[in-house]
Amino acid sequence: MIKTVTMNPAVDKTLEIDNFRIGAVNRISSIRLDAGGKGINVSKTIKALGGSSLATGILAGSNGEYIKSYLDHLGIDNDFLFLKGETRTNIKIVDKLKGTNTDINEPGADLSAEELSLMEKKVFAEINSDSILVLSGSIPVNVPKSIYKEWTERGKKSGARVLLDSDGELLREGIKAEPYLVKPNINELERLLGRKLGSREEIVKAAKNLLETGAEIVVVSLGADGAVFVNRSKAIYAQGLMVDVRSTVGAGDAMVGAFALALQRGYSFERAVTLSVAASAANVATNGTQPPVLEEILRYEGQVRFSYVK
């Protein structure tokens, strides 16, 4: 079983605005709504690839009901904790003329100690040695930044492989628990290290250094420049694919979803690389944060080129 955890989900409201200008009246050319949040996006990609997962997390209010119905419609199993209040709405502004994507994200609601305990029970229900547990994204503002570290430790005690995709203190604390896979993007990795990484060789070296913290696999997404994948026996650089960019939101989540499914299916490291890069590219080529399409993922996979790095 693959279980994805989204502690801070959102309704993603994507607005297309040509020639978006700060401090001026802007006209919206199109609007779309999607169920969002990093773990939810991971589950959407797994479903698109013909796999299954259980999405869990925290929902509230009419936005929460919308997200649940959205996942139900896609056929994604889910078990969310419903609370009082309202799930946040995140605004995504896409300007095709300027080629920009702007995110305006709400912080999310507070969570009591009792509610956090209830959430933890859902996270670890039926987790065992056959499980892959995906911990990704932000958390409610008053939840301890050590939460992913604590949950990684507990997941590992149950025999699960834990995949961690987070930023800042969540990432810094989480890697101390030695998750199976860590997936920062280049900006998150640079923030973690406190310095810029100017070359591909530096990025590969930094990824290998993360293995020394206990992770088995490190994936560093580089946006349009591709991604670096490192395990204990090899390092691979995969080139980015040329696609018609419609939305960059969720590209890293698609990569995590594809890699999680590849792990579950026992694919080779190389196949996991090509599938992950293809899923990310297909996600970028879709509007809003809707999931990529299987046929497009497979088409892009045939275009992925990678090389081994010493």
- CA 197 from chain centre, in angstroms, equals 22
Q: Give the three-state DSSP class for 165.
A: strand
For residues 149 and 288, what is the distance between their CA atoms, to the nearest angstrom? 31
Say if residue 286 is exposed, middle or buried (CB neighbours under 10 Å; 0-12, 13-18, 19+): buried
First to last CA, the chain: 34
Selecting among 12, 95, 165, 253, the annotated active-site residue is 253
Q: Are 246 and 230 in contact (CB under 8 A)?
A: no
Q: Are 95 and 19 in contact (CB under 8 A)?
A: yes
DSSP 66-126: HHHHHHHHHT-EEEEEEESS--EEEEEEEETTTTEEEEE--------HHHHHHHHHHHHTT
Active site residue 103: no
Active site residues: 253
